[in-house]
Amino acid sequence: MRERVIEQLKRLQHGSVNPQTDWEARNRALLLSQIKNTLPESLSIKSTERMWAGLSIFIPKPLVYNVVRPVAMLLIVVLVATTAYSGTVKASYETLPGDWLYPAKRGVEKTQAAVLSVIGNATSQTKLHVEFAKRRAAETKQIINSTDPDKAAKVGETVADLKDEMKSINSKLDENKSANVNFQATVAKDIKQNTEQIKNVLQDAKDNLALTPNVENKVLSQEISETKDLVKDVSVKAMEVLVTKHLEGDTSVSKEEVKKEISSALQTSVDDVGVSKQNVDGAKIILESMRGAVQDLKSEAQKQNNIDLVSSTKAFSDKVSTAANQTVAAVLKTEAVSVELDKKVNEANDFMNKDDLAQAVDKVREANQASKDAEKISDTAIEKTQTFLPIVQVIKDSSAATTTVQSIGKDLPPLIVTTTPVSAVSATPVVIPILLKN
Amino acid sequence: MSGTLQEKILLFKLQIEQDPEAFAALYDIYVKRIYRFVYFKVSSHEEAEDITSEVFLKAWHFLQEKKEVKSFSGLLYRVARNCIIDLYRRKAAKPETALSNFLEEALEIGDRGQWYADVGGKMEAQQIIEVLKKLKQEYREVVTLRYVDELEIDEIAEIVGKTKMAVRVTLHRAIKKIREILPEN
């Protein structure tokens, strides 16, 4: 019965209850003409709005506007942020201070550090500072090797930043030592190895600066030396943490590896002292030969009764003699340091043989101090030698007109004084090539 | 009514681009249904034609105001319903429009009597029309929407402004009432 009623109702949809076809067409035309009159002249629909409206054809409108659109926006922001991040980092990775992308690089680094300081642990934070320190060291080297007229300021900047990074690493290591922070011995090992690399890069930079001695470079060299000392200290501290962790039962680094690191640290100190010693020896030879040359010049002037020349060479001779004596003292000091260092290394080796790593690492600290002392002596000696170079040039010029002085260096190229510290492997005592013009 | 893909695309063109051709296409799809919906509630073809034209024009203006439209057909039915209510108000002083009047008129004038054969005879058609005439407006509306226009329950609910459950209940009662009224009972 119900079905029959429904069937009857359905049949009503056919027939005269529908509009007449001609009215339908007329009404259509009329409607179109009416609505066309109400159309605005131009439509300015944003393409994004068009997109959301278009999307709502396929997805329910509330879902589009309340879910899809916010999620899409978030995705776009994340996408833009990450691609911009990676793009910037990639583009700015090789930049140096002064480049327009360098601030972006530093900005990203600071953001990373800030984020890690909130959500990261001590390990990740320390690793990040080590990575940044390596970058600063590499930048320093690059700038020094460049011909940038503004390199002094830029190196000052990178070295200052490097110092900050080293201080951060240092404080992390201190926290670790006080047992507030826990990171594995492997991290300490990484720090130790990376600081070694940084130290070498700084040494290269320092060598490069020594090739062109001037006031600016002297200041820079001083800055780098201080930073290098800090790097050495951090390296030793990392070594101490490594040993402490190992003794506390951290097996991430084996005893053999710890011993290897201790040996490597000791060897580094020995190499450093060796280089310092060679430099001081070189400076001594230069100044000795300079003293001899000036002495010859003085004798020649006396022979010729050239009063002016005698007095000027005498004053200079006195200064050179003083400097030469000081370098002789410096040589003695470095020899003493070297002897002392050998002793410490032997002691450290003895401790290691007895598996007394704590005592061995104490010797590493002492050896590090010795290498720092030796480097200071070396720096002073080199600096002293360099100050005499312009004066030597004057004497050379003045004596050229009056006399022939035979220096102890024979058949040597034009005046060159090499005081550049050289690596332990290739180091040969610095020669004293002074050729006072024939 | 909740929308075929075609309707949605046309509505998109209408809302975003205000494309008159899209409106024309929607008119072609819905004009008969709206006309029928109106025709069952008014007294003549003329009134049905006027109201149908008014419904489409109002729907256009509604869309131009950038008001949100879930479904174009839903909009048309709602506008049609309001137009019919307005018409009733205007005719309030006059005697109630008899459904049988316009149905009879339809039978006689509308389709030139052709649909008599379609429903299986004049007597049967008259019977159902008489029954519809006796129904309350509320029942007549949902019954015609459901079985003449063949709309889904949720579409009817949207048009009449009731919940789906309320529409089902009304529909159930309307059919029950028809069965009570029909001479066989």
Residue of A nearest to B147 (CA): A10
* Mean pLDDT over the full length of chain B: 76
* CA separation, residue B43 to residues A273, B84, B88, B98 (Å): 115, 11, 11, 7
Examine the fold and report which residue of B48, B67, B97 is the final residue of a domain before the chain moves on.
B97
Let me know whether B140 and B169 are in one domain: yes
B138: how many CB neighbours lie within 10 A of its CB?
13
Let me know whether B116 and B87 are in one domain: no
> Residue A31 and residue B56: Cβ atoms within 8 Å?
yes
The whole model's pTM is what? 0.50
Examine the fold and report which residue of B66, B97, B128 is the final residue of a domain before the chain moves on.
B97
Let me know whether B89 and B116 are in one domain: no
Residue of B nearest to A11 (CA): B119
Chain B contacts of A65, Cβ < 8 Å?
Answer: none
Percent pLDDT > 70 in chain B is 76
Let me know whether B135 and B178 are in one domain: yes
DSSP secondary structure code for residue A66 in this structure: I
Let me know whether B74 and B44 are in one domain: yes
| pLDDT at B117 > cutoff 70 | no
Tell me what pLDDT residue A427 has.
34
Give me the domain span that covers residue B47: 1-97
Let me know whether B90 and B143 are in one domain: no
A99: its two tokens: 């480049």
Examine the fold and report which residue of B78, B97, B116 is the final residue of a domain before the chain moves on.
B97
Domain count, chain B: 2
Let me know whether B64 and B47 are in one domain: yes
Residue A428 or residue B26, greater confidence: B26
| pLDDT at B87 > cutoff 90 | no
Tell me what pLDDT residue A429 has.
34
Tell me what pLDDT residue B106 has.
45
pLDDT tens-digit readout, A227-253: 888 898 888 888 888 888 888 887 788
Alpha carbon A347 to its chain centroid, in Å, reads: 34
**Closest approach of B43 to chain A, Cα-based (Å):** 12
* Cβ partners under 8 Å of residue A146, min gap 6: A96
Q: What CATH number did the domain enclosing B130 receive?
A: 1.10.10.10
Let me know whether B102 and B141 are in one domain: yes
pLDDT tens-digit readout, A345-367: 999 889 888 888 888 888 898 99
**Closest approach of B98 to chain A, Cα-based (Å):** 15
Q: What CATH number did the domain enclosing B25 receive?
A: 1.10.1740.10
Tell me what pLDDT residue B55 has.
93
Q: Which of B27, B118, B185 sits opposite A28 (nearest CB)?
A: B27
Tell me what pLDDT residue A414 has.
34
Average pLDDT over residues B64-68: 73
- Three state DSSP letters for chain B: CCCCHHHHHHHHHHHHHCCHHHHHHHHHHHHHHHHHHHHCCCCCHHHHHHHHHHHHHHHHHHHHCCCCCCCHHHHHHHHHHHHHHHHHHHCCCCCCCCHHHHHHHHHHHHCCCCHHHHCCCHHHHHHHHHHHHHCCHHHHHHHHHHHHCCCCHHHHHHHHCCCHHHHHHHHHHHHHHHHHHCCCC
Tell me what pLDDT residue A239 has.
87
Let me know whether B105 and B117 are in one domain: yes
Contact A284, A331 (CB under 8 A): yes
Chain A contacts of B120, Cβ < 8 Å?
Answer: 11
> Residue B178 and residue A5: Cβ atoms within 8 Å?
yes
Tell me what pLDDT residue A410 has.
38
For chain A, residues with pLDDT lower than 50 are 180, 403-438
Let me know whether B126 and B175 are in one domain: yes
Let me know whether B93 and B105 are in one domain: no
Let me know whether B84 and B103 are in one domain: no
